[in-house]
Chain A
């Protein structure tokens, strides 16, 4: 079956602009995670959805970052007033139900803020 997909694969924007990154999880997976991976680092957790609700958003760096999952499937990560320091690869992962299960990762969106 289809894996986790993310669009766009690459996004170049200017400082101060607004961006949206989309994640399509594996069909039927109720848990969805967003991570951010900076150059030379491991992925860092941003936010976790169980169904439509954000179960844990403790990793969001500040209030410029926001994510939604209105129908419990596709999720959108929104970044307002982008800064150069937001440049990174944004990874999405999904898992079937519980937190004990394997997370399946998408290929990521590479964001570059000029």
Chain B
């Protein structure tokens, strides 16, 4: 069975500082992994996804994530936080095969201080 754990329900960084949002997964099959961002009162927007190609995945808005099989991790990073990055971030794993639904973590709310 697949599952996702996001460490830290709230993360606060200063503007210009490194952003690191942690995600660990459990999957009985090679996983597809996703990071989505949700701004207040908006739908989920895909930041990036890993589908068994390059392990370092670059996404929109300067975010990237590295798939580490040995650590079962897919942490999201951004070198320099911007005020507009304040949002909630969700890591998700696909059940894979013919089962396409995503299994989401509980989310991490990112705050950016001026």
Contacts and interface: CB of A to CB of B under 8 A. Distances in A.
Interface residues of A, number: 28
A48 B92 CA distance: 16
B107 A42 contact: yes
Given A102-B46, A102-B49, A107-B42, A95 B104 contact: no
A42 to B, nearest CB: 3
Contacts, number: 69
Contact of A99 (B94, B104, B106, B107): B94
B104 A55 contact: no
B94 A43 contact: no
Given A33-B101, A105-B43, A108-B43, A42 B90 contact: yes
Interface of B: 4, 9, 32, 34, 36, 41-46, 49, 51, 90, 92, 94, 96-107
Given A33-B100, A43-B90, A102-B46, 10 more contacts: A35-B104, A41-B107, A48-B101, A59-B101, A99-B94, A99-B96, A99-B97, A102-B34, A103-B100, A108-B43
